[in-house]
Amino acid sequence: MSVRELEPQIIWNHFEDLNAVPRPSKREEKIRQFMIDFGKNLGLETIEDEIGNVVIKKAATAGMEDRETVILQSHIDMVHQKNADTNFDFDTQGIESFIDGDWVKAKGTTLGADNGMGVAATMSLLSSTDIPHPALEALFTIDEETGMTGAKHLNSGMLSGKILLNLDTEDDDEFSVGCAGGIDTNVSYAYQEEAVPADYAAFKVSLRGLKGGHSGMDIHLGRGNANLMMNRILYAISQTVDVRISELEGGSLRNAIPRESFGVIVCPQSEAQNVEKIFNETATLVKGEYSINEPSLEVKIEAASELPARMIEKSDLERLLRAVYTTPNGVWKMSEKIPGLVETSSSLAKIVFKEGKFISMSLQRSMIESGKMDVANAIRLVYEQIGAEVEQGGDYPGWAPNPNSRILKVLENQYKSMFNEDPKVAACHAGLECGILGKHLPSCDMISFGPTIRNPHSPDEKVNIASVQKFWTFLKKVIENTPSKN
């Protein structure tokens, strides 16, 4: 069976159509045009604002004109990640999805269910001819994954709805009513390089096989950070041997837990055996510590075929290894108000040593503004102390729960009626667009929900087939039972 044959076919076919279009963050030209053509081909009013968000409007069906207009909101960009051994060009190729038991996955890449399932569900409502609904305003935002640019620069004059359904939550039994805000901390440091002596040995080092995942939703799961693991190993070697980095790179995207790190290191030929020994001993310790959470972790050192020309100067390497080692990462504070909720965190997402320049990218998240800035300041101070340049930006607010939400009551009652159980109502540690959208649409009653998705932002991303059916059935009922304008 192909993915297109799954039920409900209307959603899976729209999802596959989406996945045929490259849609990386900040390069959404193709997917924006795809959405514009989709709306116009249906004969629906289709608008694009100055930043590139697309709105498609559909009039209410007969008898539903007195209901509140509903904004259906999802983002059209996706995280592009692939395994190191996967040959794939995200700019030209469509995602290759397949069925694996109860799940749909992609071949060696991210699947794009985040937030493609929300987009596909909205497309399904827009293209349907037999589903009763109030007036709909489908808002497709750009660049959610790398800065929420679309939400920040939304032309709110395009929208009149008073209810907003964000379809970007990843458990089919959960409604999100609040989320964390975030800020990026980017570091750069120009280090001195030296020529590699002819009597030096070179090694290729690699660390791969980590689970990675979403740096908000998965930050509390105890998963390994490739950047910190590799740094720990190299620091251990540097305490005994004059090891140097020629080049090193780990991680890729600001909002994904780094899964891999690769590089080339050098040392005096006389110390080569000692370098291999300490590398392997430390790697064994790390793998032992993560044997439960990261069973697929692989750490390797092997002789390089060529000696590189340049290496980092020793004192600069010492400064940087120590700074990375002390960079806050993981859960900073748990919420005192909501049991089990991460309040504040940070993820060291990317590190590069190359051609005399060190860069790092990290993302701090918090449910409260002061907590976000607390951990962001801690990281800034670590790197300012070694003379690095630190830039903090991409700041976006959290979304405070509304205890008097009308649409929450509608969804709770509908869920209990359909599934004979109470849904989970919670805030999440991910950065949803609702916090930003609320500033543009202050009178909007907002809630977020969606199908069950696991391991977003990694090549292990998957969406549960049965949950898509559940989500679609529920969404249709919610749309049919939206409150009146009174």
Beta strands per DSSP E along 145-199 = 163-166, 174-179, 181-190, 193-195
Catalytic residue of the set 68, 144, 184, 218: 144
Q: Is 29 known to be catalytic?
A: no
The encoded tokens of residue 61 equal 């069906």
Buried b (16+ CB within 10 A) or exposed e, 47-74: bbbeebbbbbbbebbeebeebbbbbbbb
Selection from 222, 233, 246, 226 nearest residue 81 by Cα: 226
CB 418 within 8 A of CB 476: no
Q: Could you give the CA distance from residue 456 to residue 460 in angstroms, rounded to a whole number?
A: 7
CB atoms within 10 A of CB 335: 17
3-state SS, one letter per residue, for 312-363 = ECHHHHHHHHHHHHCCCCEEEEECCCCCCCEEEEEEEEEEEEECCEEEEEEE
**Which residues, at least 6 apart from 333, have a Cβ–Cβ distance to it below 8 Å?**
342, 343, 344, 366, 371
Backbone angles phi, psi at 14, to 5 degrees: -65, -35
- How do strand 136-141 and strand 54-58 relate by DSSP bridges? antiparallel
Q: Is 144 known to be catalytic?
A: yes
Q: At what angle do helices 272-289 and 226-238 cross, to 10 degrees?
A: 140
Q: Residue 106 pairs with which residues in a beta bridge?
A: 97
Residue type, 199: D
Helix (H), strand (E) at residue 14:
helix 9-19
Selection from 164, 217, 170 nearest residue 408 by Cα: 164
- How do strand 330-334 and strand 174-179 relate by DSSP bridges? unpaired
Q: Could you give the CA distance from residue 204 to residue 246 in angstroms, rounded to a whole number?
A: 10
Can you tell me which residue has the tokens 């089990």? 340
387: left (phi over 0), alpha (psi -120 to 50) or beta: left
Catalytic residue of the set 77, 343, 445, 460: 77
- Catalytic site residues? 77, 144
